[in-house]
Amino acid sequence: MIRHFKLLNKIFNPRFKRSYCFKKDEDIHVQEFINRELKLAKTGHQVLVIQPYIKWGTKKDRLTSPEMKLAESESLINTLRDWKIVDSLKIGMTSYIKHTFFGPGNIDNIALKIKQDQRISAVFISTNILKPIQHKHLENYFKVPVYDRYLIVIQIFREHAVTREAKLQVALAEVPYIWSRIRGIQENYTERLGSEAGQIALSSKMLFDDKKDLLKEYEKKLKKMITKLKSHREHLRNSRKNKNLPVIAVVGYTNTGKTSLVKALTEDLEMLPKDCLFATLDVTVHGGILPSNLKVLYIDTIGFISDIPTKLIEPFVATLEDAMFADIIIHVTDVSHPNVDVQKSHVETTLKNLNVESSLLNSIINVGNKIDLVGNYHKDENCNYISCVKGTGIQELKIKIEEEIIKATGRQILKIRVRTGQKEYEWLRLHTAIMQVETDGDYSIVKVIATKSDLDVFKHLFIYKKSGK
Ligand SMILES: Nc1nc2c(ncn2[C@@H]2O[C@H](COP(=O)(O)OP(=O)(O)OP(=O)(O)O)[C@@H](O)[C@H]2O)c(=O)[nH]1
Ligand SMILES: [Mg+2]
């Protein structure tokens, strides 16, 4: 165990980068072990993409089609650097619960395809998560690495994680998967105890116990570090609150244009939207100004995707906490996407499951993006249609955001008469959003947007004090 701790300390030493390196004589390599369990590829793969779908019955997904599911699965692979799709298949099934996942006919067909096409170096079975026993069977049949949706998303997360927090969250998201693998394989061996292979099983079992200890420590330490970062995030959140700026969280399915929208709203040229899934893994905050000079903060968030066990991506969901503490949520959809309705309801359901306050959910601003890509689209009166790339509808959206922010935060619009150029005027300029100024002799009539507490302070400083109250 002592050695485990030493190793773990090394991993968590800040000087260590993502590609942790170990002394050659270390016999247990945490990272190697994890890389192996997660089938992390050092170089890319040439992939056969298989899209299973339920043909009929209550489990059949009636909201989408196998073609649309396949298109999303292909986008996942295309997002990975150096990975290429060699071929794609859709396979209709009656259930996903067989030990071998597919029936014998389909297994033989796929195995033959792999044998005949030398280019195929891996198979992606686009199902949520394969059971360990299914995974093992399929790799035995196909003789190439097999990936499920979870494993592919983890590879993407690893490629896109930039900050220390995102990297730690990826590492934590990997742990439950490895647990399930260790447990699954252990069950397999336990079944064999008492048979001829009993002795081997027993020694292998000890190996599993080692792995379990190692993983437990690894998980504990990750959680500890993430908790620290969480309190740091809370601290940032509180300091944002103290600044009294309204906060707007931008959420949505992956690749719908969340980063592009924040960029368009803030005119922040440094933001770089990318045409790939999960380009954004870090929650970032950006300042913007609304038409009436109200300063606000926009939070860009990680995208949602369906068919991923939420439990496994909990560490990322935690980053959405910032969205939960926002004053307003903007939900971006991509109207040019054939599956826009399914994507939208997936995000809505996930937000509900995240225990986002109902008042916040009820005041969501729906935004339909990428209208430049579609001639005709079904218009919903509760949606604001825009194109981030062309700038269409952005000004109108800002007006809508301002209205909603004023409602949600109880800000007031009012006119205050102050002596021009005096302290009162300066105070309003610094602490409120000035919409308009009219002059009236030595006085200015200033139209402002202010919070109740701003107004209380103003009254205290300039009205009560003067009148001696
Ligand atoms: N044609 C068109 N493309 C757009 C528009 N808005 C965004 N895009 C493109 O869509 C792709 C995804 O945009 P992002 O802003 O990165 O999307 P995102 O929702 O932040 O994506 P993730 O962070 O990966 O979840 C990029 O290639 C953008 O240039 C738009 O209005 N029209
Ligand atoms: Mg983004």
Please tell me the distance between residue 301's alpha carbon and the centre of ligand 2 in angstroms. Answer: 7
Distance 80 CA to ligand 1 centre (A): 17
- Above pLDDT 90, what percent of the chain? 43
Q: Can you give the pLDDT at residue 413?
A: 92
**pLDDT (0 to 100) of residue 438:** 93
The pick from 260, 276, 330, 394 for probing ligand 1's pocket by mutation, whose C-beta has the most ligand atoms within 8 angstroms, reads 260
Element (H, E) at 332: strand 328-334
pLDDT higher than threshold 80 for residue 114:
yes
**Atom 14 (ligand 1) nearest CA:** 257
Domain residue ranges of the chain, discontinuous segments joined by +: 2-219, 245-407, 411-467
pLDDT at 194 (0 to 100) = 39
Among 173-182, 187-196, 214-223, which stretch is predicted with the lowest mean pLDDT? 187-196
Pocket test for ligand 1, best of 388, 394, 397 (most atoms within 8 A of CB): 388
Q: Among residues 405, 379, 368, which one has the least CA distance to residue 292?
A: 405
Over the stretch 235-258, which tens digit does the pLDDT of each residue have? 777 776 667 789 999 999 999 999
pLDDT in tens, 450-459: 988 889 999 8
Amino acid in position 108: D
Top-confidence residue, 143 or 240: 143
At 254, which amino acid appears?
T
Q: Which of 136, 183, 129 is nearest to 152 (CA)?
A: 129
Whether residue 419 contacts residue 442, with contact meaning beta carbons closer than 8 Å, is answered with yes
Lowest mean pLDDT among 41-55, 138-152, 189-203, 352-366: 189-203
Gap from CA of 310 to ligand 2 centroid (Å)? 19
The residue that leads in pLDDT, 181 or 428, is 428
The lowest-confidence range among 44-48, 229-233, 283-287, 366-370 is: 229-233
Over residues 143-163, mean pLDDT:
89
pTM attached to this predicted model: 0.81
User: Minimum mean pLDDT among 267-281, 338-352, 357-371: which range?
Assistant: 267-281
Which protein residue's CA is at the shortest distance from atom 30 of ligand 1? 370
Distance CA 392, CA 380 (A): 17
Under a CB-based contact definition with an 8 Å cutoff, are residues 300 and 284 in contact?
yes
**Ligand number with the minimum distance to the CA of 153:** 1
Tell me which architecture the domain covering 245-407 has in CATH.
Answer: 3-Layer(aba) Sandwich (3.40)
Tell me what pLDDT residue 23 has.
Answer: 39
Long-range contacts of 416-425 (CB under 8 A, 24+ apart): 416/445, 416/446, 416/448, 416/458, 417/443, 417/444, 417/445, 417/446, 418/443, 418/444, 418/446, 418/462, 419/443, 419/444, 420/444, 423/462, 424/458, 424/462
Q: Of the given ranges (154-158, 185-189, 229-233, 358-362), which has the lowest mean pLDDT?
A: 185-189
190-207 confidence digits (pLDDT tens): 444 433 333 444 445 556
98-101 long-range contacts, Cβ below 8 Å, gap at least 24? 98/134, 99/133, 99/134, 99/137, 100/134, 100/137, 100/138, 100/141, 101/52, 101/125, 101/127, 101/130, 101/134, 101/137, 101/138
pLDDT surpasses 90 at 274:
no
Q: Atom 13 (ligand 1): residue with closest C-alpha? A: 257
Give 410-447 pLDDT, tens digit per residue: 999 999 999 888 899 999 988 899 999 999 888 999 99
Looking at residue 173, its pLDDT comes to: 85
Partners of 440 in the β-ladder: 443
pLDDT of residue 224: 87
The pLDDT value recorded for residue 95 is 87
Mean pLDDT is lowest, of 91-95, 198-202, 388-392, for 198-202
Torsion, Cα 386 387 391 392, to 10 degrees, reads: -50
What pLDDT sits at residue 214? Answer: 79
Displacement of CA 16 from its chain's centroid (Å): 25
CA of residue 279 to ligand 1 center, whole Å: 9
Nearest to 144 by CA among 39, 33, 43, 42: 39
User: Is 108 strand, coil or helix?
Assistant: helix
Strand 284-289 relative to strand 295-300, pairing: antiparallel
Amino acid at 386: I
Protein residues with CB under 6 Å of any ligand 1 atom: 252, 254-260, 273-275, 277-280, 303, 369-370, 372-373, 387-389
Q: Of 284, 384, 387, give the one whose Cα is nearest residue 330.
A: 384
pLDDT over 70 at 85, yes or no: yes
What's residue 11's pLDDT?
37
**Class for the domain spanning 2-219:** alpha beta
Alpha-carbon gap, residue 343 to 309, rounded angstroms: 16
Tell me what the mean pLDDT of segment 258-282 comes to: 87
Name which of 26-35, 135-144, 187-196 the model is least confident about.
187-196
Q: What is the mean pLDDT of residues 46-69?
A: 90
- Which of these, 34, 66, 145, lies nearest to 307 by C-alpha position? 66
Please state, in angstroms and rounded to a whole number, the distance separating the CA atoms of residues 7 and 18: 15
Give me ligand 1 centre to Cα 263, in Å.
10
Tell me the average pLDDT across 300-310.
81
Average pLDDT, integer, range 11-32 = 43
What distance in angstroms lies between residue 260's CA and the mean position of ligand 2's atoms? Answer: 7
Measured from the alpha carbon of residue 369, the closest ligand is 1
Query: pLDDT averaged over the chain?
Result: 82
Dump the DSSP string for 250-282.
EEEBTTSSHHHHHHHHHT-TT----SSTT---S
